[in-house]
Structure 1
Amino acid sequence: MTAPRSAPPRRSRARANGDGTVYQRKDGRWEAAGYVLAANGTRKRVRVYGTTRKNAADKLAEKIADSNRGLPVATADSTLGDYLTYWLSSVAVHRLRENTHTRYAACVRLHLIPGLGTKKVARLTAKDVRTFLDRLRTTCQCCTQGLDAERKRCCAVGECCQKRLSALTVTYVHSVLKSALEHAVREDELPRNVARNVKTTAPRPRRFRPLTATEARQFLDAARADRLHELYELALRTGLRKGELLGLHWEDLDLDGGTASIRSSLQRTRSSGLTPLPTKTRASERHIALPTECVHSLKSHRQRQEVERKVAGVGWKDSGLVFTTPAGGPLDPANMTRRFGQLLNRATLRRIRFHDLRHSTATLLLEQGVELVVIKELLGHAHIGVTAGVYAHVRLRLQRQAIDTLGNALSPTSGRRDDPPAAAAVR
């Protein structure tokens, strides 16, 4: 009787040193693990998951390749402070506009790292986030950030000023944390985004008081004596944003056809100073019709700009912008805000923001019965729901007027004789 043949030994796939390990879990998923450069400069073991062996191995290989190039890789074992630092410098910086990234970085530095920075990313819970946000709402920021010690005021002298963050700022901090943790979920570092399980009270929308039709006429009359009269008129008649107005080039205008193409927005950034950037959203890049009054005033403005060009001589900066300084350079948005405040004083009008000219345009158009979809296209909103939400109070007032008008028509004392015949079909 021959002895049974033993099964051949299983061949293991040869792996190079540093490639990590790949194996199948009991739940059917594949897990790959290896050592990479962490955000704090040390080497840590990272785990990734996939539906197939190749999927998990490819994810691990990508992280190891980044690590070999000297790029830190966030791990679930990192503290939240290390992870946020990595996320800002390696992920968010490539996806956000520069000014947005600057605001995110300030939010992380002032609030998230001091409040949650020592927590492990993998051990962060919804309760931790909720407790942090509650503390953020109720804590004096002068005390938290140590500002009172330098100025020798507030808590440093035993008289807390109770300077708390607004509900809007707390919501913003929460949204930054959600964005960072969402990336960890996409990278398979976390099974879920615990910050999304925390519900915050939606801040009340900022109330604005747009100009009435009478105030708008008063504003335009006062602006006629200003060098930038055409800018103010274009802002009020079209609802363009301040950055869009300041970033408008002559090549964007077709004064013969009466149209304008909105392609860029002038913004001040920390790295480049005043520079034209893409519009706020893709929907903001749009083609609009120019009012006849603006076409005439812009033609006159172009002639005056040619005179300024000759006066400036070699000192003229040929930026190609429609609205410039007397030397042809771009207008600073902050200076524009100050000029606007001075104009309101000359017009003896109440103080409003420059952005409220945009709200005034939409409100006046709604009150004239213009369709909401037309206003949405003119303003460059991404969705009509944004337009409807911002101007809900105006629509409600118009509904009230319509209902009252119908009530007058149905009143027994109206004495109207233009009722349709009883047999007429009403569609």
Structure 2
Amino acid sequence: MAHIRKRGKTYSYTINIGYDPLTGKRKQISKGGFIKKRDAETAARKIELLLDENCYIELSKEIFSDYILNWFDNHYSNRIKQTSATNCRYIIEKHLLQENVFANKEIAKVTTADIDLFYNQKLQEKYSTSYIRKMHQLLNQAFSQAVKWKKIMFNPVGDADPPSVKYEEMSIWSLKDIQEFLRNCKGERHYLTFLLAIYTGMRRGEILGLHWIDIDLEQKVIHVKRSLAHVPKKGYVFTSLKTKNSKRQIPIPEFVLNELVLQKKRIEEWKELVGTVFADQDLVICTNTGSLQDPRNVVRVMKRIVKTAKVPNIRFHDIRHTHASILISVGIDIVKISKRLGHANPKITLEFYAHLLPNTDNDIADTFHQTIQSQTN
């Protein structure tokens, strides 16, 4: 039952809602400033109705910066990959704490307008739309959990308007470029690395994370199971893949299989040459002492060969785009391409490569007309 009382010239209400299970102290809801007594009584009845229906939420006074660190450290970081957690932590510290207009606001007072203002600020600072979308996803998850924990009534990120992702124009090699690059690459230590990238579309980390146990030489199939990634303060480590679809099987041609066999023989020769110094990690791509290859070395070698071969200077990841574009050009089904690349679903593949698909719309009008005519004749 609400207790109404007059303080000076205004009225206030107080409602007892039980006791705090941790402190044992009585918990109350109170509000003042009502000019008329009946206004205080009406407001109190609304709160009592919400309490009766178990719909009342006592809005948290927790500051956003305190909340998001607590949410991330004690809840979210334990549910994602280590590399993802490191990247998310950086976004939180750099953008959501240091450069955020609502960092010191109570979470219950953060508005959708605050969120949109934050996105516009990041656009003005020239951050990419895809990077701002990552911030959006992180904010959305944090505020959604605050709703579940009954700290806030609703998620202000839900109605926010993050920028649409703008994909940069893709840089890819032609078939002639590929042949010229491989010709100049022959005999290089990373010849197999680039060959696998061109012929499988695998990511750099996936190639450098390949173990011999992942390769079925008889069936001519590569099983992609892990990736080599950099974790701050820990260096390069093998991590699990992003999604369940990233874990996949990739058929390879006889040509690539033969190069893998040669690499296996080459590694056996290194073992005999260096003896006990060889630290065997079962790696397909490794140094002559068995240790993992630094991805930065791969990039350095690629830049040197690109210059020698006089082909377009693209990123290593663009070799993956080149692989996909070749498959599209010869008419391979987009679903099969998506599966080969390890995308979470074909929609992602379409978003990336829709502009490369052949335009068959010109046939639609004639096909439609012919169908109608076939039924009327």
Bin of the TM-score, shorter chain as denominator length: 0.7 to 0.9
1:268 aligns with 2:254: no
Q: Does 1:30 align with 2:54?
A: yes
Counterparts of 1:293 and 1:16, CA distance in 2: 70
Match of 2:342 in 1: 380
Task: Verify the 8 A CA contact 2:63 2:103 in the aligned structure 1.
Answer: yes
> How many angstroms does 1:16 deviate by?
6.7
Residue aligned with 2:163, SS: coil
Deviation at 1:103, TM superposition (A): 2.1
Q: Distance in 2 between matches of 1:15 and 1:137?
A: 44
Pairing of 1:16-55 with structure 2 (within 5 A): 18=23, 25-27=48-50, 28-30=52-54
Q: Offset of 1:110 from its aligned partner? A: 2.1
Say if 1:288 and 1:170 are closer, same or farther in 2 by CA, change over 3 A. Answer: closer
The aligned residue for residue 92 of structure 2 is 108
SS of the residue corresponding to residue 157 of structure 2 reads helix
After superposition, give the CA deviation of every residue in 1:305-345 in whole Å (9 maximum; x if it has no partner): 11111112111111111000111101122222222222212
1:394 aligns with 2:353: no
Is 2:104 aligned against 1:118?
yes
- 2:170 aligns to what SS in structure 1? coil
2:78 to 89, 94, 101: 94
Moved more, 313-322 or 194-203: 194-203
Aligned to 1:216: 178
Q: Does 2:160 correspond to 1:198?
A: yes
TM-score (norm 2): 0.80
How many angstroms apart in 2 are the aligned matches of 1:181 and 1:15?
24
Farther-moved stretch of structure 1 (169-178 vs 13-22): 13-22
Secondary structure at the counterpart of residue 275 of structure 1: strand
Unaligned runs of 5+ in 1: 1-12, 33-46, 49-74, 140-163, 408-423
Q: Paired residue for 1:5?
A: none
The letter of the residue matching 2:105 is: K
**Equivalent runs, 1:67-216 vs 2, <5 Å:** 76-114=60-98, 115=100, 116-138=102-124, 164-216=126-178
* Partner residue, 1:278: 240
TM-score by length of 1: 0.71
Asked if 1:304 is matched to 2:266, the reply is yes
State the match for 2:202 in structure 1: 240
Please state how far the C-alpha of 1:348 moved relative to its aligned partner. 1.3
1:26 alignment partner AA: L
Deviations 1:90-115 (A, max 9, x none): 12211222222222222222222232
Give the structure 1 partner of residue 218 of structure 2.
Answer: 256
What is the Cα deviation at residue 117 of structure 1?
1.2
- 2:297 corresponds, among 327, 330, 335, to 335
Distance (whole Å) between structure 1 residues aligned to residue 22 and residue 319 of structure 2:
64
Q: Which has the higher mean CA deviation after the structures are superposed, 127-136 or 211-220? A: 127-136
Secondary structure, aligned partner of 1:26: helix
Number of aligned positions between the proteins: 331
1:291 is aligned to 253
Runs of 4+ displaced beyond 4 Å: 13-17, 19-25
CA distance in 2, matches of 1:135, 1:295: 51
Give 1:353's aligned residue. 315
Work out the CA distance in 2 between the residues paired with 1:14 and 1:216. 72
CA 1:365 to 1:118, structure 2 compared with 1: closer, same or farther past 3 Å? same
| Paired residue type of 2:86 | T
Paired residues of 1:25 and 1:31 also in contact (CA < 8 A): no
Distance 1:165 1:381, change over 3 A: closer
Contact 1:318–1:328 at 8 Å: present in 2 too? yes
